[in-house]
Amino acid sequence: MTEPGITAAPIAVTCDDGFGAAGFAALIGALRKGGWPLRAGATTRSWPSNGTATGFAAPEDLDAAPFDLAEVAGVRCQVHDAAPAFVARCLLAGASEDAPAPRLLIAGVNAGPNVGRDLIHSGTFGAALTAMWLGLPAIAVSLDDVHSVDERNPGPLRYDLAARVAALALGSLLDAPAPLLVNANIPNSISSDGARFQAATPHPGDGSGLDGDVDALRRGLVAVSVFRGRNLCCDARASRDLAATLARSW
């Protein structure tokens, strides 16, 4: 499995909840702990339900798009007053000897689930889908505080464990022969002592033979969906393989 030191190409990280979001800091912290080089960028504020919309026409030279800078969990972060998909495009644009282009993008950790029929509208998933559309593997990771717990009293939010799931999935995606898009939803009932992973689909009855991601969360399982290619059909075998890999690694 690919390790951090094998490539100097960074991992792009972004978040649609804003650069100050706790989930974003947790994700950056987990990846830094793993030794991965990072290129970080996020929205100025929460931009939910924007899907792959950029909000306006993207300039031809994305490197010239204006942004502010902030420090998030010890990493310099671009801060864009723009939609999550636009931020993703900016992070993936441009390369030089000093700054090679990213090899993979992770969006999250989102506050709340991104599952079912509403998945396509998610800014988190939209940022990851943008990367995959441009030919890179990508992960959208979200923390469920709705289906797996009492929404009115979800308890302490386990962004740290959701970020750990994303970090564990990295190597598998970098080793894959073709770009994969992963949507991972982590139940807030998850424990550091043990977690169960379930291959799942946002579209029950889609012919994949997989259970629905909402149902997986209701049973306290980490819902893992893998999409191959640009048709957004859930790949049952790849989803099961990744779920099994994550279970062994946990």
Structure tokens at 69: 């800078």
Find tokens 């989102």 and name the residue: 110
pLDDT at 11: 97
Q: Is the Cβ–Cβ distance between 12 and 91 less than 8 Å?
A: yes
Residues 132-188: tens digit of each pLDDT: 999 999 999 999 999 999 988 999 999 999 999 999 999 999 999 999 999 999 999
Per DSSP, the residues of 160-221 read HHHHHHHHHHHHHHHHSSS-EEEEEEEETT-BTTB--EEEEESSTTSSS-PEEHHHHHHTTP
Q: What is the distance between the alpha carbons of residues 66 and 115, in angstroms, rounded to a whole number?
A: 32
Structure tokens at 175: 């080793």
Between strands 11-14 and 104-111, the pairing is: parallel
pLDDT at 27: 98
pLDDT at 10: 95
Compute the 3-state secondary structure of the chain and give helix, strand, coil in percent, each to the nearest 5: 30, 25, 45
pLDDT at 50: 66
Q: What are the chain's domains?
A: 8-249 (3.40.1210.10)
CB within 8 Å of 14: residues ≥ 6 apart: 24, 40, 41, 42, 84, 87, 88, 91, 105, 106, 107, 127
Q: What is the distance between the alpha carbons of residues 191 and 189, in angstroms, rounded to a whole number?
A: 7
What Å distances lie between residue 143 and 5, 30, 32, 34, 118, CA to CA? 28, 15, 20, 20, 15
Q: Select the more confidently predicted residue: 190 or 64.
A: 190
Q: What is the distance between the alpha carbons of residues 136 and 129, in angstroms, rounded to a whole number?
A: 9
Q: What pTM, to 2 d.p., does this model score? A: 0.92
Please report which confidence band the pLDDT of residue 205 belongs to, taking 50, 70 and 90 as the band edges: confident
Whether the pLDDT of residue 95 is over 60: the answer is no
What's the average model confidence in pLDDT over 190-204? 94
Please report which confidence band the pLDDT of residue 93 belongs to, taking 50, 70 and 90 as the band edges: confident
What's the average model confidence in pLDDT over 122-139? 96
How many other CB atoms are there within 10 angstroms of residue 93's CB atom? Answer: 17
Mean pLDDT over all residues of the chain? Answer: 90
Residues 37-80: tens digit of each pLDDT: 999 999 998 777 666 666 665 555 555 566 768 888 899 999 98
Closest by alpha carbon to 238, among 129, 137, 148? 137
Tell me which of 201-205, 219-223, 240-244 is least confident.
Answer: 201-205
Distance of alpha carbon 195 from its chain centroid, rounded?
Answer: 19
